[in-house]
Amino acid sequence: MQIFHTITSLQNFLKSQRLLGHSVGFVPTMGALHQGHLSLIETSKSQNDLTVCSIFVNPTQFNNPHDLAVYPRTLEADCEMLESVGCDVVFAPSAEEMYPTLPNLKFDFGDLERVMEGQFRPGHFNGVGIVVSKLFNIVQPDAAYFGQKDLQQCAVINRLVKDLSFSLKLNICPTLREKDGLAMSSRNRNLSPEQRLNAPAIYKALQGASGILKSGESSEKAKSFVSKQLSAVDGIELEYFEISNFDTLQPIDEYLEGKTALCIAAFMGKTRLIDNVII
Ligand code: AMP
């Protein structure tokens, strides 16, 4: 496995690979890797000659300085995990390498970012748009792999790829969960043992709400169920629970079979967790 820290060294290597006719799959991450990330690497490996994983904690997408400061950084362990699944290339640039000057450029994804993550994390999707555009330009992949866990991010990147004519295939991969249902996340490392014990309540609330909607009951009922369930759990503070159209991510009042996304964000202490299911 090759590890690059500079754009030029990565690009020189990738140029030589492209001359050999090798296709490139790309998995952007912020590191502190878990099995969810590795599943994206494995999917990319099964579909491409070469898989590149980037590890970069992108400062421009953090609206909360505390979140950025405590975001776990575990490059050495990440590289070992990537090597163990046969990842070919790691790109781990410094902030100075990625941002010699801070871009003034601003992305506005319209209605897509007026809800949920966009609403509660102002500027977040601007930062995501900037870093993902830069990484796509640097790596020039044939295909890129993202997790459904960050559903709104997938929708934003889908728009970005269309609007800026990036010539790559976008693949959305399923959310990997711990045995107790908690969605795998780098931020889970910041939970105390007690918080970790209570965290699966988030997915349980999503499952409960799914059952309510599927049985024909109202979205109000599902919403009040989720807020009651979570307020009964020590240390969980619900930020939002939305019932949305899976394509547009705009709120809907009625359950549309196969097209409904249930999305949730909750704090456990200072750690913010998100999850979603599509029903
Ligand atoms: P992150 O390092 O959190 O920015 O995530 C990098 C990529 O991994 C994003 O496309 C995420 O959606 C994806 N990802 C994060 N958690 C999971 C998970 N539990 N299952 C599958 N993919 C995930």
Nearest CA to ligand 1 atom 6: 29
Nearest CA to ligand 1 atom 13: 147
What token pair was written down for 213? 């909607």
State if pTM tops 0.85: yes
pLDDT value at residue 204: 98
CA distance 182 to 201: 8
CA distance 160 to 164: 6
Q: Scanning the structure block, which residue is given the tokens 């295909």? A: 143
From 5, 37, 66, 124, active-site residue: 37
Which residues does residue 143 pair with via DSSP β-bridges, in sequence order?
25, 169
pLDDT value at residue 268: 97
What CATH topology corresponds to 186-278? Pantoate--beta-alanine Ligase; Chain: A,domain 2 (3.30.1300)
Burial class (CB in 10 A: 0-12, 13-18, 19+), 255: buried
Q: How far is the CA of 101 from the centre of ligand 1 (A)?
A: 27
Q: How far is the CA of 19 from the centre of ligand 1 (A)?
A: 31
CA 122 distance to own-chain centroid: 16
Q: How far is the CA of 29 from the centre of ligand 1 (A)?
A: 7
Strands 271-278 and 169-173: unpaired
CB neighbours of 183 closer than 8 A, spacing ≥ 6? 36, 149, 175, 176, 177, 202, 203, 273, 274, 275
Ligand 1 touching residue 150 (CB < 6 A): yes
Q: Which regions of the chain carry the CATH code 3.30.1300.10?
A: 186-278
Q: How far is the CA of 217 from the centre of ligand 1 (A)?
A: 32
Ligand 1 touching residue 149 (CB < 6 A): yes
Ligand 1 touching residue 185 (CB < 6 A): yes
DSSP code of residue 123: T
CA distance 138 to 115: 30
pLDDT value at residue 178: 98
* Atom nearest to 33 CA in ligand 1: 2
186 contacts 32 by C-beta, under 8 angstroms: yes
* Atom nearest to 174 CA in ligand 1: 21
Q: Which regions of the chain carry the CATH code 3.40.50.620?
A: 2-173
Q: How far is the CA of 144 from the centre of ligand 1 (A)?
A: 12
Its CATH class, for the domain covering 2-173, is alpha beta
Rg (CA), the chain: 19
Nearest CA to ligand 1 atom 12: 147
At what angle are helices 75-84 and 35-47 packed, to 10 degrees? 40
Closest CA to 152 of 269, 242, 58: 242
The list of the chain residues with pLDDT below 70 reads none
Ligand 1 touching residue 32 (CB < 6 A): no
CA distance 45 to 251: 36
CA distance 129 to 123: 10
pLDDT, one tens digit per residue, over 51-63 is: 999 999 999 999 9
Residue 37 annotated in active site: yes
Q: Where are the alpha helices (DSSP H) in 53-115?
A: 65-70, 75-84, 95-98
Q: Scanning the structure block, which residue is given the tokens 């009042």? A: 253
